[in-house]
Amino acid sequence: MTENLDRVGRIKAEWARERPDLDIRPQGVIGRLHRLAGHLTEELTLVYRRYGLAEGEFDVLATLRRAGAPYERAAGELARFTMVTTGAVSKRIDRLERDGLVTRRVSASDGRGRVIALTAAGKDLIDRAFTEHIRNEQRLLAMLTDDQADELESLLTTWLAHFETDEA
C-alpha cells in the first residue's frame, strides 16, 4: 500500500498502523508544507546567491527598495518589515554597507536612531535580483494551475491570519 505514496504519505501510513488511536491527518498538511518550504527555500536562494546575496540580505535590500524613493527606512522599521531582530538586521546592514549597497546615517528626527538607505549600486542590484526572483517564483508556481494557485493563496492567507497580524 505504501509503494505509491510520497514520503509524508508513507510516514502517515506507518503511524496509522502503529497508533490507530490517533488522528494523524494533520501530518499530511503540516508535513508537506514543511517539506515544501525547504524545497522552495533552496530554489529561491539559488537566485540570491547569483547576485552575491544571502536570503536575509536580499530581504533587507528588497524592503528598502519597496519603500519607494528615497529608498530608506529606519533600522527599527527594517527589523519589523523583515520580521527579524534588530541585531540580525544590524549584521546584514554591516555587510551590505561594506559592499557599498547601503548607507547608514544618524536620523534627523531621532539622534539615537539610524536610517538605512540604498545606494545607486544597491538599487541596481536589487532591481536585477528581484526581476529574476519574480521569474523564479512564477516558474515555481507554474507547477499549479491558476485556479489552484488562487485557492492555495486564499487558504494560506486565512490560516496565516490566525498567527499574524497585518502590521507590515
CATH number at residue 91: 1.10.10.10
Q: Residue 22: which domain range?
A: 1-50
64 lies in a domain? yes
Mean pLDDT within 84-90: 81
Q: Which of 91, 110, 126 is the last residue of a domain?
A: 126
How far, in Å, CA of 99 to CA of 114, rounded?
18
pLDDT in tens, 22-66: 999 999 999 999 999 999 999 999 999 999 999 999 999 999 999
pTM score of the predicted model: 0.86
Same domain, 27 and 82: no
How far, in Å, CA of 49 to CA of 136, rounded?
13
Mean pLDDT within 69-89: 85
pLDDT in tens, 8-17: 999 999 999 9
163 lies in a domain? no
pLDDT at 168: 45
**4 has pLDDT over 90:** no
Same domain, 76 and 42: no
Confidence of residue 85 (pLDDT cuts 50, 70, 90): confident
Same domain, 60 and 46: no
- Given a contact cutoff of 8 angstroms between Cβ atoms, the answer to whether 100 and 125 are in contact is no
Torsion angle, alpha carbons of 58, 158, 85, 112, to 10: 90
Confidence of residue 114 (pLDDT cuts 50, 70, 90): confident
Mean pLDDT within 75-88: 81
Same domain, 61 and 121: yes
111 lies in a domain? yes
